[in-house]
Amino acid sequence: MKSKRKSREPSMPAGSGEYRQGIRQADEVITKNGIEILADNWQQLALDWFAPREPDRSALARYITANRDQIGVAWAREILRLQVFFGVPDYKRIVEHYDRAFRSYPRCALIEMWVAGYITRTSGDFWRARQMYWNAATELPSFAKPHYELGFMNYLLGDFPGAVERFNQAVTLVAANDAELGSRIFYNRGLVRMALEEDKQAAIADVEEALRRKPDYAQAKETLRALKGKHKWVPW
């Protein structure tokens, strides 16, 4: 139990009122869904809400098993709140809630993997997000997403060989039915291969694969027309 606040305690950080309001709204959503988090159901609720599909579900189940003595009902409540913020999505609240609520619990690579992108969007903390993706790539070796994100970050840093290496790893791991991620992996690998090797045929093959996975990928359609055109094309 938290102790009552003493009059001489420092004031809460700026934005605390807005954060508490967000928590109340998230709790209202959870309540409206008929959810009551109890000692005998918190694990199942965390899995069903935050990781309903594989491979996320198995990864979160392993985390729960490994840290059951340090997490519980309170942790499950925080992860359900986080999922509500993801559903909006409210970028600022996702990051603020992660920073406030999860710092007292063992680090979870799966949660880091999904929060990292919002960190770059809100604070622009590229290096913090990159470290989180590194953690995920190391601890979740069967996941394509962290390799893709690290590949894209290498591309932004001008490390084209490093980008291709990460994209290649992502290609071998991405699920055939993950159209969104799969299309981005192939599309961006095509761009980098063109920039690095000027291998137009390889770039065309990758962009065509991106379109096969996601036929309405407008940027890939435009890029494919340019690659097949007569004029020299560069990916920027």
Per DSSP, 57 falls in state: H
What per-residue confidence (pLDDT) applies to 235? 56
Alpha-carbon span 9 to 19, nearest angstrom? 19
- The arithmetic mean of pLDDT across residues 142-167, rounded, is 97
In a 3-state reduction of DSSP, which class is residue 184?
Answer: helix
Q: 89: pLDDT confidence band, cut at 50, 70 and 90?
A: confident
Domain regions of the chain by residue span: 16-107, 144-236
Mean pLDDT score of the chain? 91
pLDDT at 236 > cutoff 60: no
> What are the pLDDT digits (tens) for 72-82?
999 999 999 99
Does CATH place domain 144-236 in 2.40.10.120? no
What the block records as the tokens of 32 is 């409206």
Alpha-carbon span 117 to 99, nearest angstrom? 14
